[in-house]
Amino acid sequence: MKSFTKITGTVAPMDRANVDTDMIIPKQFLKSIKRTGFGKNLFDELRYLDEGKPDQDCTGRPLNPDFPLNQARYQGASVLLARKNFGCGSSREHAPWALDDYGFRCVIAPSFADIFYNNCFKNGLLPLVLEEAVVEQLFAEMYASEGYQLTVDLQRQQVETPSGQVFAFDIDEFRKHCLINGLDDIGLTLEQADAIRAYESERRQSAPWLFDAVKP
């Protein structure tokens, strides 16, 4: 997995609450059996004025000029500023894949839906929670200043604005560790294979109906 330590990047807005995973990446693109290539269809229904199709070349599609990601000032953005309950809805990991593939490294919001939040960490994407009032302030500053950038320092757990104001954020220690070092979860868990086997053999005794039941 890609590691995340510290980034400084242009901020783009997704200025509405309850952005759901259907909005982040509509279902027709979930038919892909790959992990990559979803960036061009990120926010497809908001970004384009026509209906997107899988495997389509998006270069000639009509763009929605009102959508921030289509505006010159937000090009190259790597930080997405969002509202409450970002990523609600389905468990599709295609949502963080699309954000990552587009070029986002960090999403800042007052709150995230649980599954989406969890999925981000598996893909080197940092979902960062800041208080609602702070997010409101960042929105105001971003709209007021073209090319607005934020520095996100995961090691020190802080976000710094261009004026030097610093906001601390909380993050689970284990997730931070994995993200900073780009660690593969599976490899770490398999280091505990003995503990898993011990648990399993105890369960085979106490609840044998949980094993070997599903047959063709």
Partner 1 sequence: MAARTLYDKLWDAHLVQQREDGSALIYIDRHIVHEVTSPQAFEGLRLAGRKPWRVDSVLATPDHNVPTTVKERASGVAGIEDPVSLIQVKTLDDNCDEFGIVEYKINDRRQGIVHVVGPESGACLPGMTIVCGDSHTATNGALGALAHGIGTSEVEHVLATQCLVAKKMKNMLVEVTGRLGEGVTAKDVVLAIIGKIGTAGGTGYAIEFAGEVFRAMSMEGRMTVCNMAIEAGARAGMVAVDDTTIDYVKGRLYAPQGELWDRAVEAWRDLTSDEGAHFDTVVTLKGEDILPQVSWGTSPEMVVGVNDCVPEPALEVDAVKREGMERALEYMGLKAGQPIGDIKLDRVFIGSCTNSRIEDIRAAAAVVKGRKKAESVKQAMVVPGSGLVKAQAEAEGLDKIFIEAGFEWREPGCSMCLAMNADKLGAGEHCASTSNRNFEGRQGYGGRTHLVSPAMAAAAGIAGHFVDVREFVR
Give yes or no for residue 181 binding partner 1 (CB under 8 A): no
Contact criterion met (CB below 8 Å) for 100 and 123: yes
Among the candidate windows 60-68, 70-78, 153-161, 206-214, which touches partner 1 by CB under 8 A?
206-214
Sole binder of partner 1 in the list 3, 71, 75, 192 (CB under 8 A):
192
DSSP-based helix, strand, coil % in the chain, nearest 5: 40, 20, 45
Separation CA 68–CA 74 (nearest Å): 7
Measured from the CB atom, the residue of 78 and 119 that comes closer to partner 1 is 119
Give yes or no for residue 114 binding partner 1 (CB under 8 A): yes
The set of residues, in sequence order, having a beta carbon less than 8 Å from that of 11 and lying 6+ positions away, is 77, 79, 80, 81, 138, 142, 148, 149, 150
Measured from the CB atom, the residue of 168 and 214 that comes closer to partner 1 is 214
Helix (H, G, I), strand (E, B) or coil at 166: strand
Give yes or no for residue 213 binding partner 1 (CB under 8 A): yes
Contact criterion met (CB below 8 Å) for 77 and 10: yes
Measured from the CB atom, the residue of 146 and 172 that comes closer to partner 1 is 172
Q: Count CB neighbours of 112 within 10 A.
A: 22
Give yes or no for residue 195 binding partner 1 (CB under 8 A): yes
β-strand pairing of 6-14 with 149-153: antiparallel
Residue with tokens 């909380």: 170
Measured from the CB atom, the residue of 74 and 117 that comes closer to partner 1 is 117
Sole binder of partner 1 in the list 91, 155, 165, 181 (CB under 8 A):
91
Interacting positions 4-43 with partner 1 (CB under 8 A): 16-18, 20, 22-23, 26-28, 30-35
Interacting positions 40-59 with partner 1 (CB under 8 A): 45, 51, 54-55
Q: What's 115-158 look like in SS3?
A: HHHHHHHCCCCEEEECCHHHHHHHHHHHHHCCCCEEEEECCCCE
Give yes or no for residue 156 binding partner 1 (CB under 8 A): no
Helix (H, G, I), strand (E, B) or coil at 88: strand
Among the candidate windows 4-12, 67-75, 155-163, 194-202, which touches partner 1 by CB under 8 A?
194-202
Q: Which residues bind partner 1 (CB under 8 A)?
A: 16-18, 20, 22-23, 26-28, 30-35, 45, 51, 54-55, 83-85, 88-93, 96, 111, 113-115, 118-119, 122-123, 172-174, 185-186, 189-190, 192-193, 195-196, 199-200, 203, 207-216
